[in-house]
Amino acid sequence: MNYLEGLNESQLNAVKNIDGPMMVIAGAGSGKTRVLTYRIAHLMRQGVDSFNILALTFTNKAAKEMKERINSIIGGNESMNITMGTFHSVFARILRYNSDKLGYPSNFTIYDTQDSRSLIKMIVKEFGLDDKVYKANAVHGRISSAKNNLISPQAYEANVEIVGEDRMAKKPEIFRIYKEYVKRCFQSGAMDFDDLLYQTNVLLRDFPDVLHHYQQKFKYILVDEYQDTNYSQYLIVKKLAAVYENICVVGDDAQSIYSFRGANIENILNFKKDYPDFKMFKLEQNYRSTSNIVNAANSIIKRNKDQIEKDVWTDNSEGGKINVIRCLTDNEEGRVITNRIYEIKQRESIDYKDFAILYRTNAQSRSFEESLRKLNLPYKIYGGLSFYQRKEIKDLIAYFRLSANEKDEEALKRVINYPKRGIGKTTMDNIILAARQYDVAVWDVISDFNRYPVSINAGARNKISQFVTKIQSYAIQMEKTPAYELANNIAQSSGILKNLYDDKTPEGVARYENIQELLAGIKEFSVQQEEKDEVGTLSDFLIDVALLTDADQEKEEDKNTITLMTIHASKGLEFPHVFIVGLEENLFPSQLSLTSRTELEEERRLFYVALTRAEKSCTLSYVVSRYRWGQLVTAEPSRFIDEVDQSFVNVENEVRGRSGGKSLSGYKRPSDNRTSGFGMMGGKKKRNLTPLGKSSSTPPSKKGNASGGTTEELKVGYNVEHARFGKGKVTAISGTGSDKKASVFFPRVGAKTLILKFAKLTVL
């Protein structure tokens, strides 16, 4: 039994419970993923065939790591045969085998978000609707949520409640767009991300033999991060597990952070209903973090009303407190955090990969990138504009996609005139219009003008025919030529390589190199496939690429880098040193979340997820002003900083109250009726010197803001702080009204006389 040595008693119980439905709901870092891993190893040791195991993970990388771990636990390479990966990648492959049943080509394209939005934009335009009312991402969100709740366009239209809601939002045409969108995806032989789940449900619902096949195949089913499965995923699992009911789900309701994608804590409740005899296992010991981090995280999450009671503790050492750093601007935040990382790295001689910078939104990565680059520290940004989203990469991949599936309209639009071959926009508009009138795919029209006549001139027609012939010649090779060979051939004969090679600007050179890099990646893929005795076609490669998640983009050689990612992408991961940045109101919690308790609670769970990624140290930072949407906006520290039990917090440098008092921000927000932390600076009432009548849209920077007006409280002898000059002491007050001035001695820069109306002084 010694392969199970690395487990505590509760973990061991969960691992050894082989048959029947079971659920592990436990706090962060308590070993849920570890239990899944060992459980699979144990199943295999007990004679379960690895082909009969299905394990669903949050990222593909997690699946890969889990397989490696399983091999190291039980030896050999048996884990290769387990069906393991994200919902999307596992079911995309299953759909591929069965696509004909659903009327899709076997090489159906997977539309990414950009493709979906581009298609929606086009439909909105064709319908003559206002694109400010029917914004592509909002409409896409609506469609996505309908699909994840398995609401077909017909059901959508018939559902008085939803349609009524659209009407209230003055968007009565959504169902019509939805209907058209579905039709057009189908016509293009494309599934979007949500279709991968939706169509799997259709497949399992309408084809009992297929359902039966997979029920027999997947005798043991395991799901990680169960709290973030949506209804569509929940149903798939339920159907597959219906015969054997050997289903093990693990999750943490406190880490449910995808409700905007339709993930639903209710699935945890449904589980109990579906399998009344299920066994519940609890894990309470956290192995990941210091006790300060565990306790700080507990203190945050207990503020949420809706949660399953959990008691998380750790035997780990106390560790340092959670640091809080205040910075003036986002650029300074970048510098300060980067320097901090550098210092820790030097002091402890640890790896770059031991650090992570986590943020709420991708846009925040810029300032960190800049500073990291200046200090020459290696880093990797996950998510955001990833390698595969770069224009040149998407262009070449569009050729691949089109060669795999000629009806793929988004790919076709991208490359029909790239590199330029004289097929103008008007020509394309005419063709698209004709395709709509004939009610067929654009490809059908351009590959058979005799059948679908279009009024374009002979020259254009000729060029288009050449293009069609070219794509057809690639298509013939698709299923038999190894991926690398065909990819290379396409890159050259499409003219993309030459086009980029001729561009000698630094950007052009970088783009050329990126294409080379993509080809190298495909080469690697081909080699790996050969090792498995498979041909490894370009269309196989395309599935891999389409389903990369934000956390998946990793290459072997750049492993030792600082990680930059959104908190959403960091789920399930851990790092010795974590920096959670941009802890400001309206950013984190996000502005959009401030209208309801449910949404605010989700932001709080997100903060909990962020904190619990940290093993040894966790640092929070916020700025006083930040560039957002192209302008400088004043920021307030996030309420979440206040919400951490202050005995686990170390507020660094200037911002700390004299006696290290309880509240950090110490001001009352208009919409916030919390009482804790308000006005409790070292036990004293705060001195908020914001001028009377000043609008709350420019909130005081911190504690009190002595910017003139009600200066009766600013007195000689007070310690103050200035945004640029740092800390100082008031030596004199003069003038009246808007001319009122204060003379302040700043140790760093000397004496200054400041007009209070302009100078942002904070009383300490």
Residue 665 binds which of ligand ATP, Mg ion, none (CB < 5-8 A, kind-dependent): none
Give the interface size with Mg ion as a residue count (CB under 5 A). Answer: 3
Q: How far apart are CA 262 and CA 233, in angstroms?
A: 10
* Site track 525-564 with Mg ion (rule: CB under 5 A), x = hit: ----------------------------------------
Residues lying near ligand ATP in the complex (CB under 6 A): 6-8, 11, 26, 28-34, 252, 255, 287-288, 572, 574, 612
| Proportion of the chain in helix, strand, coil states, percent, rounded to 5 | 50, 15, 35
Q: Name the catalytic one among 115, 194, 224, 642.
A: 224
Nearest CB to Mg ion, comparing residues 32 and 741: 32
Under the binding rule (CB under 5 A), the answer on residue 33 touching Mg ion is yes
Residue 17 binds which of Mg ion, ligand ATP, none (CB < 5-8 A, kind-dependent): none
Q: Name the catalytic one among 32, 67, 686, 760.
A: 32
The annotation status of 29 as a binding-site residue, yes or no, is: yes
| SS3 of residue 358 by DSSP | strand
- Which region among 2-10, 33-41, 533-541, 641-649 touches Mg ion (by CB under 5 A)? 33-41
Q: 680-695 as b/e, with b when 16 or more CB fall inside 10 Å? A: bbeeeebbbbbbeeee
The annotation status of 510 as a binding-site residue, yes or no, is: no
Q: Name the catalytic one among 109, 255, 537, 646.
A: 255
Nearest CB to ligand ATP, comparing residues 350 and 440: 350
Q: How many residues does the chain have?
A: 764
Q: How far apart are CA 292 and CA 129, in angstroms?
A: 54
Q: How far apart are CA 201 and CA 144, in angstroms?
A: 15
Nearest CB to ligand ATP, comparing residues 32 and 39: 32
Rounded to whole angstroms, the maximal C-alpha distance in the chain is 91
**33: annotated active-site residue:** yes
> What's the gap between Cα 436 and its chain centre?
35
Nearest CB to ligand ATP, comparing residues 446 and 580: 580
The binder of Mg ion chosen from 572, 589, 666, 704 (CB under 5 A): 572
Name the minimum Å distance from CB 66 to ligand ATP. Answer: 10
Angle, nearest 10°, between helix axes 597-611 and 291-301? 180
Residue 228 binds which of ligand ATP, Mg ion, none (CB < 5-8 A, kind-dependent): none
Under the binding rule (CB under 5 A), the answer on residue 700 touching Mg ion is no
The region that residue 574 occupies, defined by phi over 0 for left and psi between -120 and 50 for alpha, beta otherwise, is: beta
Q: How far apart are CA 406 and CA 122, in angstroms?
A: 19
**Sequence-separated (6 or more) residues with CB below 8 Å from residue 497:** 491, 512, 515
> With contact defined as beta carbons under 8 Å apart, do 385 and 564 qualify?
no
Q: Name the catalytic one among 39, 310, 571, 613.
A: 613
Nearest CB to ligand ATP, comparing residues 193 and 608: 608
Nearest CB to ligand ATP, comparing residues 26 and 221: 26
The annotation status of 498 as a binding-site residue, yes or no, is: no
Q: 462-493 as b/e, with b when 16 or more CB fall inside 10 Å? A: ebbeebbebbeebeebbeebbbbebbeebbee
Name the minimum Å distance from CB 7 to ligand ATP. Answer: 5
> With contact defined as beta carbons under 8 Å apart, do 632 and 583 qualify?
no
Cβ-closest position to Mg ion: 33
- What are 177's two structure tokens? 């767009």
The annotation status of 28 as a binding-site residue, yes or no, is: yes
Q: How far apart are CA 428 and CA 659, in angstroms?
A: 71
* Site track 713-742 with Mg ion (rule: CB under 5 A), x = hit: ------------------------------
**Sequence-separated (6 or more) residues with CB below 8 Å from residue 621:** 324, 325, 326, 327, 333, 336, 337, 579, 580, 581, 582, 583
Name the minimum Å distance from CB 221 to ligand ATP. Answer: 18
Residue 21 binds which of Mg ion, ligand ATP, none (CB < 5-8 A, kind-dependent): none
Name the minimum Å distance from CB 31 to Mg ion. Answer: 8
Helices (H) and strands (E) in the chain, counts: 27, 23
Nearest CB to ligand ATP, comparing residues 31 and 637: 31
Q: How far apart are CA 639 and CA 739, in angstroms?
A: 34
The annotation status of 345 as a binding-site residue, yes or no, is: no
Please report, to the nearest 10 degrees, the dihedral formed by the alpha carbons of residues 341, 345, 351, 355 taken in order: -20
Name the minimum Å distance from CB 388 to ligand ATP. Answer: 26
Q: How far apart are CA 694 and CA 49, in angstroms?
A: 70
Q: How far apart are CA 482 and CA 20, in angstroms?
A: 43
Residue 11 binds which of Mg ion, ligand ATP, none (CB < 5-8 A, kind-dependent): ligand ATP
Q: Which of residues 13-32 bind Mg ion (CB under 5 A)?
A: 32
- What are 662's two structure tokens? 């309880």
Q: Name the catalytic one among 112, 192, 225, 721.
A: 225
Name the minimum Å distance from CB 25 to Mg ion. Answer: 12
Q: How far apart are CA 547 and CA 86, in angstroms?
A: 9
Nearest CB to ligand ATP, comparing residues 69 and 96: 69
Name the minimum Å distance from CB 554 to Mg ion. Answer: 18
Please report, to the nearest 10 degrees, the dihedral formed by the alpha carbons of residues 374, 375, 377, 381 taken in order: -40
**How many CB atoms within 10 Å of residue 3?**
14
**32: annotated active-site residue:** yes
**19: annotated active-site residue:** no
Residue 7 binds which of Mg ion, ligand ATP, none (CB < 5-8 A, kind-dependent): ligand ATP
Name the minimum Å distance from CB 706 to ligand ATP. Answer: 44
The annotation status of 251 as a binding-site residue, yes or no, is: no
Residues involved in catalysis: 32-33, 224-225, 255, 613
Q: Tell me which residues touch Mg ion (CB under 5 A).
A: 32-33, 572
Summarize the annotated binding site for ATP as residue ranges. Answer: 26-33
Summarize the annotated binding site as residue ranges. Answer: 26-33
